[in-house]
Structure 1
């Protein structure tokens, strides 16, 4: 269901913005193509808050995936406006725009992204995700027709980010549509994000996965210490910020058990990611209104959308 690109003969390198509303599988798609977790994931919308660069390199090309926060209409607080700016600004100066939608539903937020895409320049690909959940795969065709009537896509791929369906074909098309050029990053790079950033995101992922609907959106993580000792043990101190004292109590849990579990789950993944023994300490602190305070957001690293 796609136009066949020209055969590739030289090395190519370029940027692909991964766009869509919250919770359609953008980060899962990028992680699966990379073969490694670079963007955190959870079942909750708005898990991704920052633009995250994922670097895919093989003998033919280097694809620089820009994973973006989900674009959404409701901008309740400053952090929502930040996420929308981060995603929208990613549409400029990229070679390919990859629009990810859910094959099982369509929302006003999808319409908002489609409207922005229709005015953007560059190659456009539609990836219809989660089609493996459809009992009859033919049901996706009216969905695709509705979207492609509103925007001229250069290619359409139905598939599944979680199960890897049609991702090889998608990757091959992306490679062949990039401009000719040399590597932007060394071939062993998987992201341009720092290890401190990755540590904070892993802690936040465990928060998102272990808590209820409200608290994850009122919390963020700041790494206060990231240091190896003389025995090669990585000492990490993470500060979890919340907006109210009641949220602090819920995160800590009875006898501190929930916080211990969050730390245990994060530490296990950190040891694999950093290839080192990790000693992780977590604290929870109340910082009232941080998610609606532009200055506080910048101090916490929410200022990279420009």
Structure 2
């Protein structure tokens, strides 16, 4: 029998508890969108962490949000829950000193036949004795689930992430790796480019625009001549006519800032100079239409 271990691990939790940050820190690359907006991660993202004796294949699921107003919310919840029944392990990321109604929903929905690790994230934000006591009290909310491990962590500060990975390795099965050592994600370049642009757009907009925002890469062209070897053409879709001027800004100032910030980060991500061409278009009420969601890449 091989002494190498390999397994699939789903990362679940409420929106904004730090799932994507946790994944990116463990994998060592930006494979999942990080934002303070709810349900930033829309498609399951595969991040791959390979070491000498193990390979962990992570699925970063959308944050479970039980607001049923939009088809988008319902579809993202379905996407997240579908992953957890077929993995080798679930990591449930929650805030260290909070247990909300959303957490109660997740607790009820978790399959009882899949190994579970609780990651109590953001412990670095608990500064005083009262807040640290809340972490201890919060731990009791998970005991009935009989988790394999319960670990206080800080994804942002890289605190106890090695211990978390060690606990994961204890659970996953012995089997050969399926990805080469240097592969950090199996998502396409086009997907990662669209996600990076969407992340940067979200830095510049208010909460009200988040749900009606999507980015589609129209074309990526390599050039043998010129100062920028790669041309990227992308469209930002919004759900209402009134949203378009919010993105453009006065005299196009905001979209220019977005474009420049995205160009810099895309150059860093792809390792070549990038010319980014952005358009903003209206696709009315797409967040309420399941068929349109499929058409815009939310699978």
What band does the TM-score fall into relative to the shorter chain? over 0.9
How many angstroms apart in 1 are the aligned matches of 2:210 and 2:26?
27
Q: Could you tell me which residue of structure 1 aligns to residue 249 of structure 2?
A: 253
Matched position secondary structure for 2:207? coil
| Counterpart Cα distance in 2 of 1:289 and 1:120 | 37
TM, length-normalised to structure 1: 0.93
**Cα separation, 1, equivalents of 2:221 and 2:289:** 30
Output aligned runs, 1:229-248, within 5 Å. Answer: 229-231=223-225, 233-248=229-244
Shift of 1:80: 0.8
**Given the alignment, which residue of 116, 124, 132 partners 2:116?**
124
Alignment counterpart, residue 279 of structure 2, candidates 268, 279, 283: 283
The 5 Å alignment of 1:54-73 reads 54-73=47-66
* Structure 2 partner of 1:147: 142
Contact 2:13 2:19 in 1 (8 A): yes
> Gaps (5+ residues) in structure 1?
1-8
Who is 2:218 aligned against? 224
1:57 Cα deviation after fit: 0.5
SS at match of 2:113: coil
| 2: CA distance, partners of 1:223 / 1:121 | 40
- Number of residue pairs matched? 293
TM-superposition CA deviations, 1:207-239 (whole Å, max 9, x none):
211111101211110000112112371111110
Q: Does 1:182 align with 2:154?
A: no
Measured in 1, the distance between the counterparts of 2:265 and 2:169 equals: 30
What value does the CA root-mean-square deviation take over the aligned residues?
1.3
Q: What does residue 162 of structure 2 align with?
A: 168
Give the TM-score normalised by structure 2.
Answer: 0.95
Query: Following the alignment from structure 2 to structure 1, what is the Cα–Cα distance between the partners of residues 113 and 155?
Result: 25
Offset at 1:267?
Answer: 1.3
Aligned partners of 1:208, 1:120: CA distance in 2, in Å?
Answer: 36
Question: CA shift at 1:42, angstroms?
Answer: 1.1
Which has the larger displacement, 171-180 or 275-284?
Answer: 171-180
Which aligned runs of 4 or more in structure 1 are off by greater than 6 angstroms?
none
**2-side partners of 1:79 and 1:262: how far apart?**
24
Task: Give the alignment partner of residue 260 of structure 2, picking from 259, 264, 267.
Answer: 264
Counterpart of 1:195 in structure 2 is 189
Moved more, 17-26 or 71-80: 71-80
The alignment partner of 2:257 has SS state of: helix
* 1-structure distance, mates of 2:290, 2:53: 42
